[in-house]
Amino acid sequence: MVTRLYTHPIFLEHITPPGHPERPDRLRAIERVLDDEAFAALDRANAPQGDEATILYAHPADFVARVRGAIPDEGIARIDADTTASPKSWQAVMTAIGAANAAVDDVFAGRADNVFVAARPPGHHAEKTTAMGFCFFNTAAIAARHAQKKHGAERVAVVDWDVHHGNGTQDIFWDDPSVLYCSTHQMPLYPGTGAKNETGAGNIVNAPLAPQTGSEVFRDAFLSRVLPSIDNFAPDLIIISAGFDAHHRDPLAEINLTEDDFDWATGQLMQRAARHGGNRLVSLLEGGYDLQGLAFSVAAHVGRLMKG
């Protein structure tokens, strides 16, 4: 089982204000934990710069131009109440997109069985025409479209276990039955979407979790809602929006998962990738704001990807 890791120093240069939870130290914590010799076999690669044209797979051109125009020459510019940009943010965003698309290329070409992309800023809150929730563009949605357009994937599943609902991914694929979107998330919580009755064209599967939910309820949501939906859909590729803020240490939510839960969920999705899509699985970092919880969870997730 070949697992590739994409990351890049440019991701540390997307600067957010002091005290902002989505900060460069998140990636430093991941880098430290993956430096352990347990991850010596990880196939590490520098993330490539993305092609701006691929953003148009998920967002209109005028929105792309508006976001690019919001990048400041110096200091920090506010895009919304939670989302800020610094001078290197555009390069970071484009490299995150490049990494996600390269990961898709790798699993379809057989260069890797699965790929973890350690990038920032995250993407799953970005709707078709709205940057929000720390997110500029929807990296997972762009990667799913890239799989369809470049590799002829007929069905792509995006599984989002970030503690916040991926309203952007749901918005982009709302009426598209060629993409399955499954989400476990705390409710009520930002951004306020993700009820069970939000089903799109039958391709949206939301499994909201009450505050203080622990492992048993999370795993039951996977077993009863997410995994059967994937088996019925039989995707050619699974993309994980891998947020680790449902960890019990995380300060932004109230779900009480441990790193063992992320290990288990990873294994379940790998089984479905093997069953339906030639092992093809791409995992994209989303949230996770307690540095220890994030590092331990990523270690469990990547360790499971490597074990096969």
How is 235-249 classified by DSSP, letter by letter? -SEEEEEE--TTBTT
Distance CA(301)–CA(155), nearest Å, equals: 24
Distance CA(16)–CA(30), nearest Å, equals: 18
CB atoms within 10 A of CB 57: 19
Task: Evaluate the CA torsion angle 148, 151, 157, 158 in order and state its sign.
Answer: negative
Q: Which amino acid is at 202?
A: G
Residues in the chain: 308
- Tell me, letter by letter, the H, E, C secondary structure of 21-56: CCCCHHHHHHHHHHCCHHHCCCEEEECCCCCHHHHH
> Residue 18, class by beta-carbon neighbours within 10 Å (0-12 exposed, 13-18 middle, 19+ buried)?
exposed
Identify whether 124 is a catalytic site residue.
no
Q: Which of 89, 23, 7, 6 is nearest to 288 (CA)?
A: 23
Could you say which of 8, 124, 125, 301 is catalytic? 125
Instruction: Report how far apart, in Å, the C-alpha atoms of 188 and of each of 24, 197, 211, 301 are.
Output: 28, 15, 8, 26
Distance CA(135)–CA(119), nearest Å, equals: 12
Joined tokens for residue 96: 């995150």
* Residues 169, 181 contacting (CB under 8 angstroms): yes
Active-site residues: which are they? 125
